[in-house]
Amino acid sequence: MEAKLIDVHPAGNTLGEGVTWDCRTGMLWWTDIQENKLYRLTWPKQSITVFDLPERLCSFGFTNDPNRLVTAFADGFYLFCPETGRRELISLIEADNPATRMNEGRLDRRGCFWAGSMVEQPFAGATAEGALYRLEAGQVTRQLDGIGISNGLAFSPDGNTMFFADTTTGIIRQYDLDGDLGAISGGRDFARTAAGAGPDGAVIDSDGFYWSAQWGNGQVVRYTPNGLIDHVIQTPTPQVACVEFGGPDLDLLFVSTAREGLTSRQRAESPLSGHMFVYQTNCKGIALDTYYPFS
């Protein structure tokens, strides 16, 4: 396996997350959650457009209308048009729980949007746990409970296996996914990250290998389908947040990072923190060809 750093985009994100490639337009999208901003990188022109947001956008997926996204803002699910700023509420999530906000989200192979919440800070009388949700055609179902920080969502090439991680446990798990029923079952441990490394955003390549951004130790780890470590990319910053394949041949690995959680000394030692890194690999991602239905 080969991965060579070929470019760095100076985004300077506080918390760069949700990296997603649109094969239809040749554009890469991601969000800076804490700064209420959405980024769009046109490839290969490498021009960046930044959209200001009404609140924190935690994750998103593409709809069959290229101008609209299905999103998990901090308080719930919305349809959103970046160009106009218009939001259409689908469903508030955990509105009665001030301890949580939405976090990680991905489309599955059938165009359903999965997103989970996280415990942001405890409040007296609030339940200090999050959950994982599935959104299909406007209907929300709760799939998992007792989550600290939802992360690591990815789906096998055939769409029959879901990967999910609770960052607070350091464990990446697998679930059988029944696409027709929209249900998961058979949860089992897939991999455990090293001490001090939290499993964050992830993506599956065309060979079924799982790529995990690992928060705290500056690594992207590629796991075999059996959960064994195959390759490690050491990045120039400790806070690695999300990964995605993109580019015309889907062989570029985009890696978002963050400045959040770093001391002033760490920021000085890692001046590229918060930037977007681009690696040329000899692996390929999977083209997304099913989108969340807008209408």
Q: Which domains does the chain have, with CATH numbers?
A: 3-281 (2.120.10.30)
Q: Which two tokens stand for residue 247?
A: 């580019």
Both tokens of residue 222? 């590629």
Instruction: Tell which residue, 289, 242, 247, has the closest CA to residue 109.
Output: 289
Q: What confidence tier does 294 reach under pLDDT thresholds 50, 70, 90? A: confident
pLDDT in tens, 140-154: 999 999 999 999 999
Q: Is the dihedral of CA 3, 259, 196, 129 positive or negative?
A: negative
pLDDT for the residue 124: 55
DSSP for 180-244 reads TTTEEEEEEEEEEPPTT-EEEEEEE-TTSPEEEEEETTTEEEEE-TTS-EEEEEEPSSSBEEEEE
Question: What is the C-alpha R_g of the chain?
Answer: 17
How large is the average pLDDT for residues 182-204?
A: 96
pTM over cut 0.85:
yes
Which of 281, 158, 156 has its CA nearest to residue 210?
156
- Is residue 41 a contact partner of residue 20, using CB atoms and an 8 Å limit? no
pLDDT tens digits, residue range 82-132?
A: 999 999 999 999 998 889 999 999 999 999 999 999 999 766 566 679 999
Residue pair 73/28 in contact (Cβ under 8 Å)? The answer is: no
Q: In which band, very low, low, confident or very high, does the pLDDT at 295 lie, cut at 50, 70 and 90?
A: low
The per-residue pLDDT of the chain, averaged, comes to 95
Q: Is the dihedral of CA 14, 59, 118, 184 positive or negative?
A: negative
